[in-house]
Amino acid sequence: MTHPHHHNRVAGQPVLQVTGLKKAYGAIQAVGGVSFQVMPGEIFGVIGPNGSGKTTLFNSMLGQITPDAGKIELNGEDVTSLGPLELNRRGVGRTFQTLQVFGKMTVRDNLIVAAQEHKGTMFGRMFAPGDSGLGEKADALIDQFRIRHVADKKAGELSYGQQKLVDIAMAFMSEPDLVLLDEPCAGVNPRLVGGISTLLKELNRNPKIDKHSSFVVIEHNMDFVMDLCHRIMVMVEGQVMAIGTPAEIRANKQVLDAYLGS
Amino acid sequence: MKKFTHISIALCALLMLVTPQYLKNYGIYLLTYWLIFIIATMGLNLTVGYAGQKSLGHAAFFGIGAYTVAILMKAGISFWLGLPAAALICFALGIILGFPALRVQTIYLAFATLGFNTAVWLVMRNEEWLTGGTFGINNIARPSLFGFSLEGNLAYYYFTLGVTLLMAMLLWGLLRSPWGKAFTALRDNPIRAESLGVDIQTYTLLSFAIGAVYAGVAGALFASLVQFIEPAPFTVGASIMMYLMVVVGGPGYFLGPVVGAAVGVILPEWLRFAQAWYLFVFGAAVVLLMIWLPDGLLSIPDRLKAKRQSKLDSAARVAAGQTAAKNMGAKA
């Protein structure tokens, strides 16, 4: 099975289109009719207080939970009911809030396994070379993330910050159209936050493959979000309060009162 | 580590080629027994050690392999058809046993596989028309290969050694392919693996099916070695023993089964001097081993390396601290 998700693009078409998404847990409407779109190459931030529905929204987009209503389209294709595996094969990468590396594999193997299933057929992979022809790509990301000195160490033996970098690099190995970043700065020291921001900007342009990746970022670090994102959506109590550029969001009185204030 | 593995393999192979020449019949029989358990536990090591699926039903496949060959040979079918038939049947049943693993994991999966083992054992014991029940099947012939009879113990030993090496090379190749990485990813973090496009369901089923093939081949060789089979060697207890061999050797270490099967098959022979105390000594050794070396005997080199590394690191920290203190002193 090959997955030519990179050829599905139509000019001017959003990479991600979410329409009227709803999800309730019992009496609690976690997400109550959210709509937005993410354009090719765009970095789209989602902010809001705890319990505003960000995580539920994210989990719906990642195929972890099935929404009650609404539609999620990827490059024009309805992917609302698809699971994480199918979404990844169609070009969705993700990072996790908590560290999720393969602890007993080397850093390099972590990166290779992150893209190998996009190469060839299941049966063919049984006879493919160990690095699936992805060694060069892995090495390029290892250099870009400045983790060359630990490339042959087991990922589980690295420091928290190093594992975080591996975790993010893995999401980019298969050259996804859309990457969902779940609190990339959680637990990271301030100096590394700057490094991650720089890396994400580089990856967003990705001149090597002449391709623009789009990101959706959930993050509580406001400086990071305002600096990185092209547009930001503010969620409060499961509803969209505002969508706009960082400058517009900063100037929005309603948002200031409800969330950014103090 | 790579070098260590290569040298160990070469040494093992040499020892195994030469040793039986100096052994009596029982010694050769015991070594063959050991090889057969190496094959079986190599498969279990794939399922448990590499793919992380807790299976306590491995002896069922071992038994299915043995009975397949025995029944087919009694029906006049050649061993050389019986062996692949045993492998195929085990592959198919391995996929079926894999399905519970898609729903449950850890101890719950262990119990599901244990139930499977019990069910298979009951079929072996009760379906006399097929399996001979508790009387078993006797006079199972040993095959001949290209006109060479494998009837003698030494000949059968070398034949088993050849099969063991072949199965080991196939597994080595498989583990070095992208499949090996996918199995490890499945064990280390299935949720992350799935988010990276790894089809964890298919790999879970395959880890059971391929593991079962190894047990089936081992079972087929076992039937022809002992020439008489009955349900007793294929109980849940035997599955637990195989699991123990994997854990003692070192799950996820390629040569773990070689060491683990030696502990399970050869060590009891050495402990014969202890007579009635044998099980006590064996049990105590396993308890101690699990406390001090939870990752198995083959984790010893890795442990030593980690210890050396942490010593080097702390020495480097001390040195860095002294340099910093000196620099501060110079400034003051």
- pLDDT digit string, tens, across residues B159-169: 999 999 999 99
Q: Does B188 touch chain A (CB under 8 A)?
A: yes
- Domain annotation covers residue A262: yes
Residues A223, A199 within the same domain: yes
> Does any domain span residue A1?
no
Q: How many domains does chain A have?
A: 2
Do B192 and A101 make contact, defined as CB atoms within 8 angstroms?
Answer: yes
Fold for domain B11-295? ABC transporter involved in vitamin B12 uptake, BtuC (1.10.3470)
DSSP string spanning B183-223? HHHHHH-HHHHHHTT--HHHHHHHHHHHHHHHHHHHHHHHH
Report the gap between the CA of B207 and the closest CA in chain A (Å).
Answer: 13
For residue A154, what pLDDT is reported? 93
- End of a domain among A147, A175, A203? A175
Confirm or reject contact between B254 and chain A (CB < 8 A): no
Q: What is the ipTM of this complex?
A: 0.89
Q: Do B192 and A89 touch (CB under 8 A)?
A: no
Tell which of A116, A150, A158 to mutate to test the B interface (max B CBs under 10 Å). A116
Assign residue A187 the CATH number of its domain.
3.40.50.300
Q: In degrees rounded to 5, what are phi and psi of residue A111?
A: -70, -40
Q: What pLDDT sits at residue A7?
A: 44
DSSP three-state, residue B149: strand
Domain boundary at A175, A200, A220, which?
Answer: A175
Is residue A86 located within the same domain as residue A114?
no
Average pLDDT on B268-277 reads 78
The pLDDT, as a whole number, for residue A2 is 42
B172: distance to nearest CA of chain A, Å? 11
Q: Are residues A87 and A182 part of one domain?
A: yes
Q: Is the pLDDT of residue B147 over 90?
A: no
CB contact under 8 A, A170 and B196: yes
Q: Are residues A184 and A165 in the same domain?
A: no
Residue finishing a domain among A157, A175, A193: A175
- How far, in Å, are B52, B109, B113, B329 from residue B105 at the CA level? 9, 5, 11, 59
A137 with A86, same domain: the answer is: no
Q: What is the pLDDT of residues A66-107, one digit of tens each?
A: 999 999 999 999 999 899 999 999 999 999 988 899 999 999
Q: Residues A191, A258: one domain?
A: yes
Domain that holds residue A196: 12-91+176-262
Does the distance separating the beta carbons of B184 and A104 come in below 8 Å? Answer: yes
Q: Report the pLDDT averaged over residues A129-136.
A: 90
CA distance B243 to chain A (A): 21
Q: Does A124 lie in the same domain as A238?
A: no
Percentage of chain B lying above the pLDDT 90 cut? 57
Encode pLDDT of B35-84 as tens digits: 999 999 999 999 999 999 999 999 999 999 999 999 999 999 999 999 99
